[in-house]
Amino acid sequence: MSKLPFTGSGVAIVTPFKNGKINFDKLGELIEFHIANSTDAIIICGTTGESAAMPDAEHISAIEYTVQKVAGRIPVVAGAGSNDTHHGVNLSRDAQRVGADALLSVTPYYNKATQKGLVMHYSAIASAVDIPIILYNVPSRTGVNMLPETLLKLSEIDNIVGVKEAGGNISQVAKIASLCGDKMAIYSGDDDMIVPVMSLGGAGVISVLANILPKETHDITAHCLAGDYVSARQIQLKLYDLIKALFIEVNPIPVKTALNLMGFDVGELRLPLCEMEEKNLAVLRAEMEKAGIALKA
């Protein structure tokens, strides 16, 4: 297996928009905020970054800017998945060309590939690039669950190094760990399951929560990596209600709203995503305040 791109807390960073375009100055501010607060990797143009609403040229420009701004201080993992294998290959090549350290590649969505199709899809992408690939299994969004046996087959490909597992099924995580061992690193894709996943040998998290609490999210993973699950659990459980509030509406609506409440001014969401319902906004505000987050809006 190729070297892991990171261990610990990787932030699935939001994409700030202003007047319909990427606000690169604000993106740079967010990147510096994360580096100053111990985030271990930047995941740019993932689901939380609204990549599904970004044309390819804009998508690649966000990756390129992030690589240049980070300047090698922490790894940059680029979202480059697609439900069209040819498109996924081209997007992955472009992400490598502009300097991404690794790729995050979601399972094909809507057309719901078979397990054989998933192996063929990822084999094609892996053969087109040289950098490490983290697979992304999120059945609630894609409609397909990548099985542990499929991951075992894919673990034989040298530059497929890990999986972001966001199925909410700890039994499946255990089976992946049992079957694949150290041939497939596991990253939690659910912020409420960081400690359980890492207790089974997980390498870290690709996190929504880290957008607003980067140091605390890093600390959970650092404690786990050090074997201090008591300290990790204390932070995890303290933030449980806040994590639930961050998913009270479809991601990234709440987390982008939370950043605006904190004064980061990350701008609007792109349709079909829209502003939060008032009743849900009230819950989010209350949980942020309970967590000790200062609100400016």
Q: Catalogue the active-site residues.
A: 136, 164
- Pick from 163, 206, 156, 249: which is nearest to 49 by CA? 206
3-state secondary structure at position 282: helix
Residue 180 near residue 151 (C-beta atoms within 8 A): yes
Q: Cα-atom radius of gyration of the chain, to the nearest Å?
A: 18
CA 89 to each of CA 75, 103, 201, 273: distance values in angstroms, whole numbers, following the listed order: 21, 11, 30, 27
Strands 8-12 and 102-106: unpaired
3-state secondary structure at position 10: strand
Residue 194 near residue 224 (C-beta atoms within 8 A): yes
